[in-house]
C-alpha cells in the first residue's frame, strides 16, 4: 500500500509534464516559462469551452472573467506604482470610453506629444485599462511627455465588424480635433496611433482612413504597429504554416478570431483553414487584388464572407494610392508568430508606396511577448520589444 502514493505521484507528474510540454524552436528563450504560460491559457480556453457547451456562460465571457486576476499579474499597478506622476482619467471621446494618461505637470509653454492606443485581444478580449497595456501607457506618458489615449472599443460577442473599427475611428477623429489638442496642449505635428495584434489592425485601418480624409486638418504623423493582423484572405502564408503550433496564438485560434470579428458562422472554420474562402475561382478576388499579398489561396469551394475584402478589416488590401498617403510606420514583427508575414508584407507595401518604415524584427520573438514584461511572466524579448517601442515614439518629433 505504501507504493500506491508513489505511483500516483509519478503518474500525476508525468501527466502534468505531458500537458505542459510542447516542442519549441531553439531560438525561443525561457522555454519552460512560455510552456507554463501557454498551459495556463489552454486550461482557461478548455474550461471556457465546456462552460459554453453546458450552457453556463458564453466562452468569451468566461475567458474574460478568468483572466481578471491574470491581467493584474501582467503589470497593472496602483496609482503609486508605475509612473506615479501620470494623471489617469476614465472619460469618453465622442461617446467612446477611453482612458486618458497625462504626463506630470511642468514645461509650460511646450506642447506635448499625443498617442492613441488600441489594445489587442482578437477583437474579443482585453482592456487598455488592465495589465501591461496600462503599465506601458503610463511609461510612455511619463518618459515621452505624451498625452496617451487608450480606447475601450466594443468587442465580440456583443458586436461584430465594423463596430470596433468605427469606435476607434470616432475616438481618433475626436482626438485630432483642434479643441482636444488645444485642451491637452498637444503638438498637432506629433500625434501617433498605435496598437498590438487586433489593435494593430485597427490602428492601420484608422490610419488609412484618417490619411484619406481631406476634411481633417490634423493627421497622424506616425503609426506604430505591434505584430498586427492585417488580412484574412490567406491563412497558408509561410508564417501561418511554420508557427501554427507555436504559443500563444495558434493558427486555428487566429482563424476563429477572424470569423468572430466578421460575423461568420464558426462552422466554416474548416473552409477558412484550407483557404477555400479565397480560392482562385472567387470572382470578386481579382488578380490585382491578389497581387497585394505574396501568396495566393488554395483551390476549393467559395464562401462569400461579409467584410472579407473590406480594407477597413484587412488594411493590407488597400491600394497603393491609399498607402502613399499614410504616415511613416514602425512595424514590430516576431519570427515565431503566425502574423509575422502580415506585418512584413505591409511594411514592404508601405515602402513601395514611398512611406518611411522601420521594421524591428525579433528572431526570438513570439506573439504576445510585448505584453510579458512583469515578473513572474516577464521575458527578455518582451522587455526589449517594449523599450524599442517606447524609443520609436520619440521619432514623432522628427
Query: What count of Cα atoms within 13 Å lies in the side-chain half-sphere of residue 273?
Result: 11
Choose, from 76, 127, 132, 197, the residue flagged as catalytic: 197
* 224/200 Cα distance (integer angstroms): 8
Going by C-alpha positions, the residue among 120, 150, 127, 126 that lies closest to residue 138 is 150
Going by C-alpha positions, the residue among 194, 178, 197 that lies closest to residue 186 is 178
Query: What count of Cα atoms within 13 Å lies in the side-chain half-sphere of residue 298?
Result: 11
Q: Which long-range contacts (CB under 8 A, 24 or more apart) does 263-271 make?
A: 263/160, 263/161, 263/306, 263/307, 264/305, 264/306, 268/303, 271/300, 271/301, 271/303
Compute the residue count for the chain.
398
337 is catalytic: yes
367 is catalytic: yes
Choose, from 174, 234, 367, 393, the residue flagged as catalytic: 367
Residue 94 — φ and ψ, nearest 5°? 50, 40
Nearest-10 crossing angle of helices 31-53, 3-20: 90
C-alpha cell at 304: 462569400
Q: Which are the contacts of 83, defined by CB distance < 8 A and separation ≥ 6? A: 138, 139, 141, 142, 143
Choose, from 337, 341, 342, 393, the residue flagged as catalytic: 337
Rg (CA), the chain: 21
Q: Which are the contacts of 86, defined by CB distance < 8 A and separation ≥ 6? A: 101, 102, 103, 104, 138, 141, 142
Going by C-alpha positions, the residue among 380, 335, 368 that lies closest to residue 132 is 368
Question: What amino acid positions are annotated as catalytic residues?
Answer: 197, 337, 367
Amino acid at each position: 500500500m505504501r507504493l500506491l502514493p508513489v505511483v500516483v505521484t509519478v503518474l500525476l507528474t508525468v501527466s502534468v509534464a505531458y500537458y505542459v510540454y510542447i516542442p519549441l524552436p531553439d531560438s525561443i528563450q525561457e522555454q519552460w516559462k512560455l510552456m507554463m504560460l501557454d498551459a495556463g491559457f489552454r486550461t482557461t480556453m478548455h474550461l471556457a469551452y465546456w462552460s459554453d457547451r453546458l450552457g453556463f456562460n458564453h466562452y468569451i465571457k468566461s475567458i474574460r472573467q478568468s483572466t481578471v486576476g491574470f491581467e493584474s499579474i501582467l503589470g497593472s499597478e496602483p496609482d503609486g506604482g508605475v509612473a506615479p506622476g501620470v494623471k489617469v482619467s476614465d472619460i469618453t471621446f465622442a461617446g467612446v470610453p477611453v482612458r486618458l494618461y497625462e504626463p506630470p505637470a511642468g514645461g509650460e509653454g511646450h506642447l506635448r506629444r499625443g498617442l492613441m492606443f488600441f489594445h489587442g485581444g482578437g477583437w474579443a478580449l482585453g482592456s487598455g485599462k488592465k495589465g501591461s497595456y496600462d503599465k506601458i501607457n503610463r511609461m510612455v506618458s511619463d518618459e515621452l511627455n505624451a498625452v496617451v489615449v487608450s480606447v475601450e472599443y466594443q468587442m465580440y460577442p456583443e458586436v461584430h465588424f465594423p463596430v470596433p473599427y468605427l469606435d476607434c475611428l470616432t475616438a481618433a477623429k475626436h482626438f485630432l480635433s483642434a479643441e482636444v489638442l488645444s485642451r491637452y496642449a498637444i503638438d498637432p505635428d506629433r500625434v501617433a496611433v498605435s496598437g498590438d495584434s487586433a489593435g494593430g489592425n485597427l490602428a492601420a485601418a484608422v490610419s488609412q482612413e484618417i490619411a484619406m480624409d481631406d476634411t481633417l486638418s490634423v493627421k497622424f504623423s506616425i503609426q506604430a504597429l505591434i505584430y498586427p493582423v492585417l488580412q484574412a484572405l490567406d491563412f497558408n502564408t509561410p508564417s501561418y504554416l511554420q508557427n501554427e503550433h507555436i504559443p500563444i496564438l495558434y493558427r486555428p485560434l487566429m482563424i476563429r478570431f477572424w470569423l468572430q470579428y466578421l460575423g461568420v458562422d464558426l462552422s466554416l472554420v474548416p473552409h477558412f483553414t484550407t483557404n477555400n474562402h479565397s480560392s482562385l475561382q472567387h470572382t470578386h478576388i481579382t488578380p490585382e487584388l491578389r497581387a497585394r499579398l505574396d501568396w495566393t489561396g488554395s483551390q476549393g469551394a467559395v464562401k462569400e464572407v461579409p467584410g472579407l475584402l473590406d480594407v477597413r478589416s484587412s488594411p493590407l488590401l488597400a491600394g497603393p494610392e491609399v498607402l502613399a498617403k499614410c504616415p511613416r510606420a514602425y512595424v514590430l514583427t516576431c519570427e515565431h508568430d503566425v502574423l509575422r508575414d502580415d506585418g512584413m508584407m505591409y511594411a514592404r507595401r508601405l515602402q513601395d508606396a514611398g512611406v518611411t518604415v522601420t521594421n524591428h524584427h525579433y528572431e526570438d520573438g513570439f506573439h504576445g511577448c510585448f505584453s510579458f514584461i512583469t515578473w513572474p511572466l516577464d521575458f527578455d524579448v518582451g522587455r526589449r520589444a517594449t523599450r524599442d517601442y517606447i524609443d520609436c515614439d520619440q521619432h514623432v518629433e522628427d
